[in-house]
C-alpha cells in the first residue's frame, strides 16, 4: 500500500510525516520524561526482600521489566499478592511513598527532553501527560522536571475505566485536548504504554530508556529511539515540518 506521494504506508507512519498537520503530542511519564525505573526497581526490590518475597532473594531486574514496569498498581498488587490483594494494595502504596522519597533527590530528565520541549512549544502544539502512575507520583515527577506549565492535561490510568495497556487513557487525552488521533503521536517507554497508544490509533515513538528493544518491538511502535537526542527522532520531526 502506498500513499499519494509514493511512500509506503509503513515508511510514512514511521517518519510521522503522515500526521501533518500535527496537532498534539502525548507523553508517558515514568521512563519517558525521566529515567525513573531504577528508582522503582530499587524500591520494589528492597521492600519485597524485607517481607520475604521470592524466599527472601532480591527480585532480578528481568522480573521487574517483565512483570511490573509500566503496569497499573492494581494489576501489580494482584500479581505479587494473588492470595491477599488488599495486602498487595497497601504494599504498592507504601512502595510509592518510598519512590517519592527517592525521586525528590535523584530524579533526572531523559537526555534531550528540553530540546524536544522547545520544538513542541515553538509549534504551539497541545500536550498531555498520560500515565499509569498514581497522581502524587505523576505530579511530583512533572514538578521536579519543571514541566508543570508545559502540559495542558494530566490523564491518569487509575481515573479511567481501564488503565494501560488498554487505550482508554490515550482516548481520554484526545477527547480532553479536542484533537484527532490522525494528527497526534505518543512518546512511550514500556510495552504496556506502547500497546495503549497503538490501540488508540496513534503512532508511538518508543524510548529504550530501560526496557529491552525486542520487548518494545513486540508492541509495534512506529520506531524506537535511545533518547530525545536520537538523530532518528529529529529526522522524523524535520520530515514532518516539511509537510
- Active-site residue list: 28, 30
How many CB atoms are closer than 10 A to CB 144?
19
**In the structure grid, which three cell numbers stand for residue 113, read together?**
527532553
Q: Which residues pair with 145 in a beta bridge?
A: none
Contact 43, 64 (CB under 8 A): no
Cα atoms in the 13 Å half-sphere on the side-chain side of 92: 21
Residues 6+ away with beta carbon under 8 Å from 4: none
Q: What is the SS3 string spanning 214-243?
A: HHHHHCCCCEEECCCCCHHHHHHHHHHHHC
State the DSSP string of 158-173.
GGSSS-TTSSHHHHHH
DSSP secondary structure code for residue 57 in this structure: P
Residues 6+ away with beta carbon under 8 Å from 89: 73, 74, 77
Which of 197, 171, 199 lies closest to 185 in space, CA to CA?
197
Contact 183, 36 (CB under 8 A): no
Amino acid at each position: 500500500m502506498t500513499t499519494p506521494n509514493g511512500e509506503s504506508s509503513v515508511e510514512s507512519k514511521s517518519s510521522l510525516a503522515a500526521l501533518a498537520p500535527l496537532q498534539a503530542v502525548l507523553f508517558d511519564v515514568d521512563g519517558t520524561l525521566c529515567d525513573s525505573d531504577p528508582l522503582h526497581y530499587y524500591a520494589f526490590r528492597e521492600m519485597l526482600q524485607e517481607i520475604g518475597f521470592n524466599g527472601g532473594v532480591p527480585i532480578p531486574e528481568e522480573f521487574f521489566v517483565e512483570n511490573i514496569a509500566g503496569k497499573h498498581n492494581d494489576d501489580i498488587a494482584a500479581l505479587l499478592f494473588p492470595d491477599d490483594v488488599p495486602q498487595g494494595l497497601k504494599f504498592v502504596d507504601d512502595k510509592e511513598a518510598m519512590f517519592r522519597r527517592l525521586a525528590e533527590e535523584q530524579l533526572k530528565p531523559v537526555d534531550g527532553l528540553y530540546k524536544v520541549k522547545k520544538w513542541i512549544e515553538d509549534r504551539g502544539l497541545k500536550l498531555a501527560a498520560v500515565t499509569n502512575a498514581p497522581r502524587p507520583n505523576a505530579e511530583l515527577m512533572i514538578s521536579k522536571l519543571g514541566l508543570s506549565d508545559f502540559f495542558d492535561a494530566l490523564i491518569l490510568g487509575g481515573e479511567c475505566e481501564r488503565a494501560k495497556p488498554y487505550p482508554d487513557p490515550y482516548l481520554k487525552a484526545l477527547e480532553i485536548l479536542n484533537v484527532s488521533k490522525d494528527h497526534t503521536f505518543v512518546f512511550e517507554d514500556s510495552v504496556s504504554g506502547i500497546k495503549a497508544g497503538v490501540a488508540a490509533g496513534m503512532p508511538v515513538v518508543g524510548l529504550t530508556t530501560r526496557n529491552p528493544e525486542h520487548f518494545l518491538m513486540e508492541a509495534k511502535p512506529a520506531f524506537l529511539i535511545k533518547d530525545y537526542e536520537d538523530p532518528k527522532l529529529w529526522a522524523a520531526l524535520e520530515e514532518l515540518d516539511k509537510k
